[in-house]
Amino acid sequence: MTDQTSATPTCAKCGDAPAGLGGILCPDCLAAIAARRLDA
């Protein structure tokens, strides 16, 4: 397994998927947060 921590940061929320656009959360978590915000 190669070390890709600097190239692809992992999601701060799930800690599993590679972080997306913001570099903090993966697209899945971002979508979940956005959906929850629209719901509330």
- Whether 4 is covered by a domain: the verdict is no
- Predicted local distance difference test score (pLDDT) of residue 21: 75
Asked if pLDDT for residue 31 goes beyond 70, the answer is yes
- Average pLDDT of the segment spanning 27-33: 93
Total domains in the chain come to: 1
Total residues belonging to the chain: 40
* Domain region containing 21: 10-40
Tell me the pLDDT tens digit for each residue of 2-24: 555 556 789 999 999 999 877 89
Half-sphere exposure of 1 (CA within 13 A, CB side): 3
Rounded-to-integer distance, Cα 32 and Cα 20, Å: 13
- Predicted local distance difference test score (pLDDT) of residue 38: 87
- Predicted local distance difference test score (pLDDT) of residue 1: 42
pTM of the shown model: 0.63
- Whether 33 is covered by a domain: the verdict is yes
Q: Residue by residue, what is the 3-state secondary structure of the chain?
A: CCCCCCCCCECCCCCCCECCCCCCCCHHHHHHHHHHHHHC
- Average pLDDT of the segment spanning 11-39: 90
Backbone φ and ψ for 29, nearest 5 degrees, come out as -70, -40
